[in-house]
Structure 1
Amino acid sequence: MNCKQFNTIPLEDVLLSLGHLPTKQNEKEAWYLNPFASESQASFKINKNLNYWYLHSEGIGGNNVAFMKKYLNESVSEVLLWAENQNFSSFHQQNISSSKLENLSKNYEIINVKEIQHPALLEYLKERKVEKQTEFLHEIHYRMNDKNYFGIGFKNDSCGYEIRNKYSKICLGKKDISTIKNNSNSVRIFEGFFDFLSFKNLENKLEKEPSDYLILNSVSMIHNIKNSLGKYEKVELYFDNDEAGNRAVEIINNEIQNSKDCRAFYSKFKDLNEYLNQQINEIENQYKPRFKR
């Protein structure tokens, strides 16, 4: 990865990988507490269209490289090495500039929405161990920058789609949460839809009754849901076991008295999907035929 490539990564994703969440945001900008020092009121702003940051408390700003140089107190080469290790390159596999993700609604066309049939998508779901949960998903064919693409689509509450395949992770349309309602007095909250699908696979094993489900589609959307949780008697949290997940749990626990961190049973794994993969692999290995020489 070079400087130009790293600077096209949304700075929100960079901050998220470091465990920083916005205190407020809209379609054009996001505000954070100072990532470089302690403060009580947010003074760090991101311009989403330009993908530039500005720290009002110090009067400085710049691009991703400038941010990480200051954050790590390292050289450009060390910053790029750090970026390579974060696997940000997965956002570029379909040759879509990540700096344009906020504006995708202006330059894409959805060609077809149907049940998942493409062998590559079915195989990808099988690899993630969620091939039985296709009722929540669509196969989306779309055109962008004069090229045709396809992927697994998970619809959000603003009629946008989270798009995933083996090589791509983008959102078509407005970024938003996804809500699945069952008229329940409890709700389960997940960071991404693969965690939700993984939980649906495990629901019976965990002896859990169906509830309402809320999928953030990005942990940065957590501030959009706090006001909607008060109506529930029980709020269960199934976030990732990382800094961003820890911070998300802390934010909700500070706002909602009846919330519960439910990560204990997969505490040794990055997330629910990784846990599910390990469980299924163990079962499959138990039943593999053993041949004697």
Structure 2
Amino acid sequence: MENERPMWIDKSKLKEIRDNIRCPYKLLNSLGISISKDTEHEIWCLSPFRNETKASFKIRKDELIWFDHGMNEGGGPLELIAKLNNVNIYKAGRLAVDYGLTSAIGLVNSIKPRPIQKKEVKKEKNIIELPKKYSLVPYLRPYHPVITQRGLSQVTCEKLRFGFLPMSSKSNLKGRIVFQIRGVKEVDSELKPTILTHIGRAISEKQETEGGKWRVYSGFEKKSALYNIDNVLLSSQVTSQVEKYGLVIVEGCFDVAKLYEAGIYNVVSTLTASLSDKQIDKIEFIQSKIKIPEIKIWFDNDEAGKMGTQKAIEKLKGFDIPFRPIEWNQLKSENKKDACDFSVDELKQFRQLGLI
């Protein structure tokens, strides 16, 4: 029936769910935990609970018992789901069913997810719902293997308002690395930040195939926004760097994050390999509020990025702010395709040399 309530999970059903979670790889994948080392009896991973470079989280293959050496805590699969999603053990049991982790077919059929209202099917698999203006930031976790492997810290996550959105979220961006995109509006001569939307980056090839590399809400145009414009105009630390070094324009959110990690804050992202007229209008708005001595274009080191750079140069001709592309051949960029591929030390050196 349309309004049928889902069956309550009691202790016996909870035990049945626990006993039927048998694949460690499926468990780890569903929680977005990447494997660092796979041995005969154990799997080692970077801890999903904090930022680290050496794996201290392990799970036994036979019993699916996990232990995190960094916090001296462990448990079974349901305890792991509960801790990662900040829910009780019964909710963790339902999440395990929703994730498809249990092999008990009868159990899956008896515990049905709460019915949801049917929505119109979108033509683009990565376009979902309407733009979300409320903040998802309180629900984002700064510690996730995808974030850690990119060399990004909790501080950077907090400054730029991004992180991993747990699978327990009701948002269609759940299970992805989510960035909050903000703009700036002027009210009574005062600049105020405003939430435009959130976008979510896939954390696995399977997720990318099924839902797109980036998921965005319908009604939001990437070419109408500049990621990090809010900090450029509202943070004195960022504003001072813009006035000293100019404005660096990159493609992606992760490029901005890696530059932030290196202490380079005078940067915005176009979210695509192009610079639109609307984004140029936003740069002019920035210039009307603070002095931009120079614009530096640093799109990706691929065909789309190179073509986007050339088109951006043509659009900026006649602009009253000096501009130049950042030359990849000056950056010792072998096997590197975008700004976030460089280490923090390399980025700091580029700043010292005046390259960025």
TM-score by length of 2: 0.41
Q: Which has more radius of gyration?
A: 2
Give the structure with the larger strand fraction.
Answer: 1
Relative contact order (alpha carbons < 8 A, sep ≥ 6): 1 or 2 greater? 1
